[in-house]
Amino acid sequence: MDRLKASFERELKNKLAEKTKGAQSEESVLMKSFKYFDLNDNGTVEPEEFAKAIEKIGIQIPTKQDLDALFNVYDVDGSGALDYKEFSSVLFGRPQTSGGVGASGSKNPEVLAEVMREKLAKRGAKGFIGLQRQFKIMDDDDSKSLNKYEFTKAVSDFMLGFNQQESTALFAYFDVDGSGTISYDEFIRAIRGPMNPAR
């Protein structure tokens, strides 16, 4: 596996160097390729999108098994989605700057909540409003709250890139009173964090 990873990274860096023009860095070429296949614009790529991005750069991975093995090496948090900023920081040897799950592989609910906050913030106002709308759609009994099933379904349908285990951990984190439900107004306040004075 180490040999596959090393030869993949060497070939990838060579291809990126060939495609680099003028002031454009190798890293920005890589990011553009990933972004092109990140159709839901959530900052991550799934295995199939990863394969297409790598192919666009000019690298053919011989087997699906090799592709899956490579993907899993870079998917350090095991979410099934690859944060391409994290991928490029690993590839170019830069430390992760965000407090994301990535580098530590932590399943800490506070870290997951922060990752969720960052992903929603990247989508701007549409992120929070869209998730709130998703919650209302999932609230089958119109109770103004979500049970664990409704919550994990909403998070999944909103394509935030969390696996079942992480969604369950997030649910437990936001279910502060242990009632088995989360009021979505309470959730939105918690995930949005304190208002800055300008708002």
> What would the pLDDT profile of 153-174 be if each residue is shown by its tens digit?
877 777 777 888 888 888 888 8
Is there a contact between 179 and 146 (Cβ–Cβ < 8 Å)?
no
Q: Side-chain half-sphere of 73: how many Cα atoms within 13 Å?
A: 16
What pLDDT, on the 0 to 100 scale, is given for residue 199?
43
Residues 6+ apart with CB under 8 A from 64: none
Crossing angle of the two packed helices 84-91 and 64-74, in degrees rounded to 10: 90
Is 179 buried (19+), middle (13-18) or exposed (0-12) by CB count in 10 A?
A: exposed
State pLDDT tens for residues 32-72.
Answer: 887 777 777 777 888 888 888 888 888 888 788 888 888 88
For the stretch 108-129, pLDDT in tens is 677 777 788 777 777 776 776 7
Distances (CA, A) of 168 to 21, 145, 149, 171, 175: 45, 16, 9, 5, 10
Domains of the chain: 2-98 (1.10.238.10), 109-192 (1.10.238.10)
pTM beyond cutoff 0.85:
no
Q: What's the one-letter identity of residue 55? A: E
- Cα gap 13→69, rounded to integer Å: 19
CB-CB contact of 146 with 181 (8 Å):
yes
